[in-house]
Structures are given as C-alpha cells and as structure tokens.
Homo-oligomer: A and B are copies of this chain.
C-alpha cells in the first residue's frame, strides 16, 4: 500500500465509505398510520403506480409482505396475510347460513372475497359489484392467486356503484357482503354504511334467512373508535335481534 500517498500520514485510501453498509441501503414504502406514527417496509419493486377515476392505486412488491395493494396511500391488502381478512369476512357468514346459493359483494374488486366464496360448493352465483373498472382489471392481471376466481363461470362481475346496482336489481341474495373501504366523510363508500342504506337497500334484498356481513375497520382497544363502534351501533339499530330475526348480521 506504500504505492498510494496520503498527506494525512495514512497510507492508502480510507474504506470508511466502503461496502460495509451497502446491504442497509434500500427502497422503502412509508405510510403514515397517524400524524406521529408511521411504518416502513422494504421494497423489491414498484409494480404499478397510477390513478383511476376514483382513487390512486399502487401495487408494490414488498420484502416482508409480498405483493401489496395500496389505495389512496393506504395499505389495503398484502399477499402474505390477506387470507386472514378475507376468510374472516366470508366463511363465518357462509357456514352460518343453511344453504347459501346467491351472494352479492359490494366492492371486492381485488377478487379475494370472490375467491373465498367460490370455495363453497353450495354457491351458485356471486355478483361482485365494484365501482372501479381499472382496479378490477389491474387485480385481474397482477394477482395470480385470484386468477381462477375471476374466470369462474359462477362469478358475475359488474362495474357500478353498489348502492345503485342493488337498487336496480330485483333478485334477492342469501348473503350480502360489504368488502369496502372505511366510511370516510366525503369518501366513495360513506353511503354504504348508513342506517337508511341498511334499512332500505340491504334488508329488502336479503332472502329469508339471509345474512349481511360487512368489514368494519380495525377493532383494537383504541382503534375501534375510528369506525368500528359506529358501524356496530348503526347495524344494531337496523338488524334488531341478531340471532332470532330471520335476517341477521354477523
């Protein structure tokens, strides 16, 4: 190393900026959970970034969670654990029903709720009504795990506002499922969580013994106040007797 001359008396080049930390430099997705709290996960790649008519959408390939769908900057669903949400949304209702044949999904454009529903052999027809054509197309091409569901002949995919679609249709359903974004004031799904919607749109479209189930946001010790408790209280007023009424909700 005497072959390189350093005025500072050190013979040779410093390696302090060398490769030692190379593995720590990386691409990250960062989400603000709330103002003073955020979480970050490492990225393999950004598969898609775009804006549809209704929302901003990203599909990320993340290191800790696999493929992840981000809508309006908020993680919606990730490959590694989306089954927890979708199985919990679908199976209790379908197992509780004596003979679920016809199902209506409000939202669900990702395809995972349909996938879980179509595992039930009793199911003859699933109407999946999502407002956003582009999200649906996008999930169809990227989410391999739902590809079969999207091709299932029992699936009737409709692009429309779920409320308008339910009001337009005359047929009844054994199970209606709300697989929607949280009810944010001014957001696209707000109207799908109201008392009048439950009373005058959902209820009349349920068969005798029909079941209504909806996602209702996080239900943690603190987070339940965000939307869960409101949705629970709203439901309670419409579906008075949970288990004795011919129409119940889970």
Contacts and interface: CB of A to CB of B under 8 A. Distances in A.
Copies in the complex: 4
What range describes how many residues of A lie at the interface? 35 or more
A21 B38 CA distance: 11
Contacts of A42: 35-37
Given A27-B28, A29-B27, A184-B17, A229 B6 contact: yes
Contact of A39 (B1, B7, B40, B63): B40
Interface string A93-131: 000000000000000000000000000000000000000
**Majority SS of interface residues in chain A?**
mixed
Contacts of A6: 229-230, 233
Contacts of A186: 15, 18
Contacts of A184: 13, 15, 17-19
Contacts of A64: 34, 36-37
A81 B193 CA distance: 30
Nearest to A195: B3
Nearest to A65: B37
Interface of A: 1, 3-8, 10, 12-19, 21-32, 34-46, 49, 56, 58, 60, 62-64, 70, 72-74, 80-81, 84, 182-187, 190, 193-197, 221-222, 225-227, 229-234, 236-237
A217 to B, nearest CB: 9
